[in-house]
Amino acid sequence: MPLIELIETNLEKKNHTPIWRFPEEKNEFPISELYDRAIEYAHTFTALGVEAGDTVGFMLNNCSDFVPFLIGLWKINAMAVPLRPHAGSDFDIHAYLNRIEKSCQFKLIIFNDDANEDLINSWTGLSGRQGYRRSEFIGIHPVTIKTDFPSILPSDIAVIQYSSGSTGDPKGVIVTHEMVMNQVRQIDFERRVAGQDKEIESTGSWLPFNHDMGLFIGILHPLFAWSNNILASPRYYMYKPKRWFELQSQYQVEWNFTTNMAMANSLRSLAQLAPGAIDLSLFYLYLSAEKVSPTILRKCYEVLKEFNMPEDHFKVGYGMAENTLGAASTKQGKINTVHVCIDENSNTVQKTDGHDNNAVEVVSIGSPHINTTMTVRDEAGNILPEMTLGEICIQGHCVFPGYHRDEEVSKKALVEGMFKTRDLGFYCNGDLYFYSRKDAMLVVGGRNIAPEDIEDCAEGMEGFSVGGTALIEVEQKSVGTNKLVLLVEMEDKRHRLDLTSERHRIQSEIYQKKGILISTIVFCGKNTIVKTTSGKKRRKAIKETFEKEQKALCGNDSL
């Protein structure tokens, strides 16, 4: 049964209608009202020519209308494509849309009310397709009301989930209605195994709906679980994290998902609340979408225990859009961490007591979800034993069938239904540990960043040479977050003041074009950005050099 049918059955048979709250809009609605609006919107979509199998883009901030838009679209068995609503001021959003349009061929796109006029005009003008602001779409009241809706097959596409598109080519992950149901059932099962073995009554999320975690944790699982729900935007959350946690306490919310970076940025705000000012004794918090730092985990324990949140209510999740969402998570009890030394030549992992200078502390991502198999494999595809580093591979009924209209990339990622994640990890005492990415992709705040895109942006600026920059990620152990460092080769010795203004110019350019703030720009001498004979940047070697000679490089002494 697809999710939309379950909603209809619940509306008919359940004796309560959950309330969904939108604090940013100062609104709340029973699901029945959201559903009624969804049916109205289904008629509007139909009147605008959207049919089963068509794609509709939502370039929207988190808002209450997003929910009925999605349900309404599914009612007519069309495909939803959540798109990134924000971008840097110079980010080429037209190019981003046009790249996705090539594979999606949107029937229409719904934009934010404050979307740029040029964007909408260029979209509707160039492609000949339809684009509406949110309030324009809502204001359309079709004359002809269609009463029969198409049936939905499990293999029909529900969502095409694109990566953010600020860096790298956006790839569209196909998510069918069957995958949606498999994932929400799995999430619910794992939640029970992890200690919440009762019907969940109240959920909350501020994660963006255009992100897989925001879509599933914010909308789809609460619809499945038939829970009360609080939804806000990332901006509402980040503006005052303590306000968000006060709401979770007030409405006795039982779980949230978040990221390592979001928690790192929230703890100072939370620490301002007096001990016992809020009650999080029922609350579970899953950290996911990026590598979790043991430092942040311990800080979370320390700050949130003041609000009665037990340590075993923290969980770590691991997954990606290609597996619909979650693939593994920690179960009952406290989250394990392990100190290990990893020999990246032999790929052997050795446990240490933590005093070894080469040791790293890694946080467990738990064990695979039900109906999911996760193996660690070598380059040839052989399964590796415990304490051996290899590529994490996933098989199961949430694995995607491929990228939308991109057979070539799909073939590389999927081998006989097994998804090769390009994440490196190892098993230790039955727990799986994520160590790093296999490729150069950086993951910061749950966002994938392709280094070459940031480098291209810097290298395209006047005064910098092609191939003369390298973006690396550096762990800040004491803080518990990773920072982005851009190394920039410079031939000439410039005055220190010039370097400062150059540094600010690069930061400003990248932030405006890519929406990413690079906290540290380091100018270095020629040949610091070492390359292979074919001209490829040797990122591992560059990072090692930086870590060894950080002081000299940061002091600009190498120029």
Partner 1 sequence: MGLFRKNFVDLCVEHGLLDGGQVETMLNDDLIESGMLDSMGIVTVQTMIQETYGIDIPTPLFIAELRSINNVIAYLYKLV
Give, in order, the Cα–Cα distances in Å from 508 to each of 27, 163, 363, 404, 512. Answer: 37, 23, 34, 34, 6
Shortest Cβ 519–partner 1 spacing (Å)? 5
**Of 430 and 555, CB closest to partner 1:** 555
For strands 372-377 and 390-396, give the pairing. Answer: antiparallel
Interface residue with partner 1 among 373, 477, 501, 548 (CB under 8 A) is: 501
268 is a site residue for partner 1 (CB under 8 A) = yes
Piece of the chain touching partner 1 by CB under 8 A; list 91-99, 132-140, 200-208, 477-485:
477-485
How many residues appear in the chain? 559
**Of 350 and 501, CB closest to partner 1:** 501
Residue 59: enclosing H or E segment and its boundaries? strand 55-59
18 is a site residue for partner 1 (CB under 8 A) = no
Secondary-structure breakdown of the chain: helix, strand, coil percentages, each rounded to the nearest 5: 35, 25, 40
479 is a site residue for partner 1 (CB under 8 A) = yes
Q: Which amino acid is at 2?
A: P
505 is a site residue for partner 1 (CB under 8 A) = yes
**Of 269 and 352, CB closest to partner 1:** 269
493 is a site residue for partner 1 (CB under 8 A) = no
Write out the binding residues for partner 1, residues 272-291 only, by CB under 8 A.
272
Shortest Cβ 499–partner 1 spacing (Å)? 13
Interface residue with partner 1 among 481, 528, 545, 556 (CB under 8 A) is: 481
Q: Which amino acid is at 337?
A: T
515 is a site residue for partner 1 (CB under 8 A) = yes
Q: Token pair of 291, please? A: 């590598």
Whole-number CA gyration radius for the chain: 24
434 vs 425: CA distance, rounded Å: 4
Residue 514 CB: number of other CB atoms within 10 A? 22
Shortest Cβ 240–partner 1 spacing (Å)? 6
Enumerate the H helices of 164-229 as residue ranges: 177-193, 212-215, 221-225
Interface residue with partner 1 among 507, 528, 545, 556 (CB under 8 A) is: 507
Piece of the chain touching partner 1 by CB under 8 A; list 61-69, 117-125, 398-406, 478-486:
478-486
* Beta carbons of 405 and 169 less than 8 angstroms apart: no
Shortest Cβ 268–partner 1 spacing (Å)? 4
> Buried (b) or exposed (e) across 281-308, using 16+ Cβ within 10 A?
ebbbbbbbbbbbbbbbbebbbebbebbb
Shortest Cβ 408–partner 1 spacing (Å)? 32
Shortest Cβ 245–partner 1 spacing (Å)? 11
Distant-in-sequence contacts of 458-467, Cβ < 8 A, 24+ apart: 458/486, 458/488, 458/506, 458/509, 458/510, 461/505, 461/506, 461/509, 463/502, 464/488, 465/489, 467/529, 467/531, 467/535, 467/537
Query: Pattern 228-267, binding to partner 1, x per CB under 8 A?
Result: ------xx--xxxxx------------------x---xxx
Query: Pattern 443-472, binding to partner 1, x per CB under 8 A?
Result: --x---------------------------
Interface residue with partner 1 among 112, 116, 520, 558 (CB under 8 A) is: 520
Shortest Cβ 259–partner 1 spacing (Å)? 11
For strands 326-329 and 360-368, give the pairing. Answer: antiparallel
512 is a site residue for partner 1 (CB under 8 A) = yes
Which positions ≥6 away from 511 have C-beta within 8 Å?
Answer: 88, 517, 518
Residue 506: enclosing H or E segment and its boundaries? helix 496-514
Burial class (CB in 10 A: 0-12, 13-18, 19+), 358: exposed
Interface residue with partner 1 among 415, 517, 541, 552 (CB under 8 A) is: 517
SS3 306: helix
Shortest Cβ 264–partner 1 spacing (Å)? 9
Give the phi and the psi of residue 82 in degrees, each rounded to 5.
Answer: -70, 130
Interface residue with partner 1 among 89, 346, 527, 534 (CB under 8 A) is: 89
Total number of residues binding partner 1 (CB under 8 A)? 33
**Of 64 and 166, CB closest to partner 1:** 166
351 is a site residue for partner 1 (CB under 8 A) = no
Interface residue with partner 1 among 14, 476, 530, 555 (CB under 8 A) is: 476
Q: Which amino acid is at 442?
A: L
What residue ranges bind partner 1 (CB under 8 A)? 89, 234-235, 238-242, 261, 265-270, 272, 445, 476, 479, 481, 483, 501, 504-505, 507-508, 511-512, 515-517, 519-520
